[in-house]
């Protein structure tokens, strides 16, 4: 009797050569076959994949840049192999299976560290990469106005500007002007363009920062964001949410908020009058160095 009499011809479980391993794992775990056929784009048989293949599969290898906390990393970070961490923020609680190269420096921008690494390896920086690194430094330091900015950031920016063949002041103004164009952006796009979640022993809270060249533009954004903040609390399952609306030229931030005691904590932290429409903080433009530490201290005192 020929083998074709025993063959299954319908409801076959096969995978395409371009399917992602993460996508086929669930199917393989539910069906008790040992091997599964792999087909090309024309439906031709190429080979088999087995459960054993999945067990021996190498994890995705990643490098964390400009963050080191699990809450700020990509989804399923625990399933990846972290090779390096390059950052300039506070050190969080992320754990790794084996030792990794961890470089953390108190600078205004992670791109300053990357600029240093190019030099240490004697690798020439391409013009377009120099432009990207320069833009990141100008953005993170708010054109050198932020208290997080160091002399190393300024020197790196000047060197990168020469490579990129741009004028720093002109480039910065054009960049911030483009970033302040909120007309064609949704509420979600504006809010999540720079949003981070932080944790204390008692509270989980989020802080978004939006920068622009004029207070008038920021006031329009505030009105657009206020109704959205309650959604963020539920979606992210956090206790409080704050939005820093930073006026780059005036070097000040108006902070709007949502959540139980969010306004009181902010007002107490900076010794201001509580105002449900937002609190203006003159001279406060850095989330990392000025807002977060002060908020966390106020939260600790509240407990």
Whether 252 contacts 281, CB under 8 Å? yes
The pLDDT, as a whole number, for residue 303 is 64
Q: Is residue 27 very low, low, confident or very high in pLDDT (cuts 50, 70, 90)?
A: confident
Does residue 70 sit in the same domain as residue 108? yes
**Which of these three, 147, 179, 211, is where a domain ends?**
179
Last residue of a domain, one of 179, 212, 247: 179
| Shared domain check, 157 and 99 | yes
Domain count, the chain: 3
Give the domain CATH number at 138. Answer: 3.90.1640.10
The burial of 90, by beta-carbon neighbours within 10 Å (0-12 exposed, 13-18 middle, 19 or more buried), is given as middle
65 and 51 belong to one structural domain: no
CATH of the domain at 44: 3.10.580.10
Do strands 61-65 and 81-87 pair parallel, antiparallel, or not at all (unpaired)? Answer: parallel
One domain for residues 12 and 77: no
Asked if 41 and 121 sit in the same domain, the reply is no
Instruction: Strands of 26-141 (E only): list them.
Output: 35-39, 45-50, 61-65, 81-87, 101-104
191 and 175 co-located in one domain: no
Residues 74, 27, single domain; the answer is: no
Whether residues 34 and 83 share a domain: the answer is: no
pTM to 2 decimals? Answer: 0.72
For 49-87, what is each residue's pLDDT tens digit? 887 777 667 778 999 999 998 888 888 888 888 999 999
Rounded distance between C-alpha atoms, residue 6 and residue 17, angstroms: 26
Residues 77 and 174 in one domain: yes
Q: Are residues 79 and 173 in the same domain?
A: yes
Q: Would you call 10 exposed, middle or buried from its count of C-beta atoms within 10 A (0-12, 13-18, 19+)?
A: exposed
Q: Is the pLDDT of residue 11 over 90?
A: no
Last residue of a domain, one of 127, 153, 179: 179
Q: Do 167 and 214 fall into the same domain?
A: no
Residues 37 and 104 in one domain: no
pLDDT at 285 over 90: yes
Q: pLDDT averaged over the chain? A: 91
For 82, the domain range is 61-179
SS3 83: strand
Q: What is the CATH number of the domain that holds 200?
A: 3.10.310.20
């Amino acid at each position: 009797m020929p083998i074709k009499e025993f063959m299954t011809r319908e409801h076959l479980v096969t995978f395409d050569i371009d399917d992602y391993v993460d996508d086929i794992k669930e199917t393989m775990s539910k069906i008790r076959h040992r091997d599964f056929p792999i087909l090309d784009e024309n439906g031709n048989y190429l080979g088999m994949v087995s459960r054993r293949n999945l067990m021996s599969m190498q994890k995705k290898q990643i490098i964390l840049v400009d963050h080191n906390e699990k809450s700020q990393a990509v989804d399923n970070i625990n399933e990846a192999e972290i090779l390096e961490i390059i950052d300039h923020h506070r050190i969080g609680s992320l754990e790794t299976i084996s030792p990794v190269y961890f470089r953390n420096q108190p600078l205004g921008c992670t791109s300053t560290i990357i600029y240093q690494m190019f030099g240490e390896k004697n690798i020439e920086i391409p013009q377009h990469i120099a432009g990207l690194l320069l833009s990141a430094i100008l953005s993170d330091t708010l054109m050198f106005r932020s208290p997080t900015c160091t002399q190393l950031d300024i020197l790196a920016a000047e060197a990168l500007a020469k490579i990129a063949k741009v004028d720093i002041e002109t480039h910065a103004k054009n960049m911030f002007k483009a970033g302040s164009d909120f007309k064609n952006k949704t509420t979600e796009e504006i809010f999540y363009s720079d949003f981070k979640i932080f944790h204390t022993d008692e509270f989980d809270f989020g802080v978004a920062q939006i920068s622009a060249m004029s207070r008038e533009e920021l006031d329009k954004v505030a009105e657009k964001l206020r109704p959205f903040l309650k959604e963020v609390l539920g979606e992210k399952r956090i206790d409080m949410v704050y939005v820093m609306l930073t006026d780059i030229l005036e070097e000040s931030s108006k902070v709007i908020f949502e959540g139980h005691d969010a306004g009181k904590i902010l007002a107490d932290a900076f010794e201001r009058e509580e105002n449900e429409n937002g609190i203006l903080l003159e001279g406060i433009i850095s989330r990392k160095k000025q807002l977060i530490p002060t908020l966390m201290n106020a939260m600790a005192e509240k407990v």
